[in-house]
Amino acid sequence: MDLDFAAEEEEFRQRARDWLAAHVPAVPLPSLETEEGFAAHREWERALAADRWSVVSWPKEYGGRGVDIVKWLVFEEEYYAAGAPARVSQNGINLLAPTLFDFGTAEQRARVLPSMATGEVIWAQAWSEPESGSDLASLRSTARRTDGGWRLDGHKTWSSRAAFADRAFGLFRSEPYEPGYETGHAAGSGAAGKPHRGLTYLMFPLDADGVTVRPVGRLDGKPAFAELFLDDVFVPDEDVIGEPGQGWRIAMSTTGDERGLTLRSPGRFLASADRLARRWRAEADPADTALRDRVADAVIGARAYELFTWACASRFAAGERIGAESSLNKVFWSEYDIALHETALDLLGAEGELAEGGPAEGELAEGAPAGQDWMEGYVFSLAGPIYAGANEIQRDIIAERLLGLPKGRR
């Protein structure tokens, strides 16, 4: 792994840094988990796309710059270092788009990707169901064949971005599955014997007839998620990704992207650890060595995550895929994120308890995040060990597929 950057990569870094310095809003945008903030972040996506900074790694015909993974990671570092707004298009750009590049048709890419890049269409993730969270293969929402398409019925929950988004993507059962069949009968060759068979990957609009969106508030009351109720919702054949019944294989590609590099690039944590360290140097009690060591651990963790990511990037560049190793990545960043925010809140003391009405970003020395920014980040970080595949499941994957340990009793 070569950590020296080529001249063209450094030139790209400088161009990104200059653009961000000129365009990142001086006043932080409202939380994207509110209607006002969601609209403001959508406008930010449009500004990024206007100068082709929204999706730098995409081909130019879809609004990108066609850069490789090294330059994408460089851009991510600069983006977070500049304190740029969170990406409201994250689900679409980081999860659905890679799936369309791998499994979608040319028509789907031409139709879906440009409006995704500009923020005109924001995508929600519709995976989990009330009794099918980490055990995604047990989902019950159905897709029935009809003339020209499919009829969707069911209930999705914890759908991120769905409270204000335009469209969603997810899995639906298109062939019947009988729980217990594989243990009580001779295993069959169809979906009845294998719960992950007979699933179809579909896209659908959230304003379609038969779709009800019910926001779900976080601990702070903001609707970061929503429940989706689908009652005989028509979806045309053109919105099926890949072959009907092959959704599980496609979804595993998507979840690999989510657990791996795309959802949490190291730039996010490097910037947060840097701001935490600067806040420590400016305000902390030097005699508090225990808190000092936690700040040091945060900086070391961010650096370790960066190095692991660059190692993965080198393998990607060589044409490899990281497969089950993405579970290592997911467990690390989700638990690191919580520890980082807990350290920041302990450093801030009473100020860190402010959810609203605290000092604005610009009122703090050296651009350190305001107390309410750390608190909002902490509230969201608590979901990290659950979404993108619960960490308990990820540890099973690590034990069985990477370490070769025998399967435990479920």
162: nearest Cα among 211, 109, 101: 211
Q: How far is CA 106 from the centre of its chain?
A: 24
Tokens representing 26 are 């001086």
Residues in the chain: 410
Cβ atoms of residues 372 and 408 within 8 Å: no
What is the DSSP annotation of 144-190?
A: EEETTEEEEEEEEEEEETTTT-SEEEEEEE-S---TTHHHHS---SS
CA distances in angstroms from 271 to 25, 45, 276, 340, listed in the order given:
17, 20, 9, 12
CA distances in angstroms from 247 to 52, 148, 386, 388, listed in the order given:
31, 19, 22, 17
Strand positions, DSSP E, 207-339: 211-216, 225-236, 240-241
Hey, which residues are catalytic here?
A: 258
CA distances in angstroms from 161 to 35, 38, 287, listed in the order given:
11, 9, 43
Residues 6 or more apart whose CB falls under 8 angstroms from that of 47 comprise 23
Distance CA 235, CA 247 (A): 16
Q: How far is CA 190 from the centre of its chain?
A: 32
Q: What 8-state DSSP symbol labels residue 406?
A: P
Distance CA 321, CA 324 (A): 9
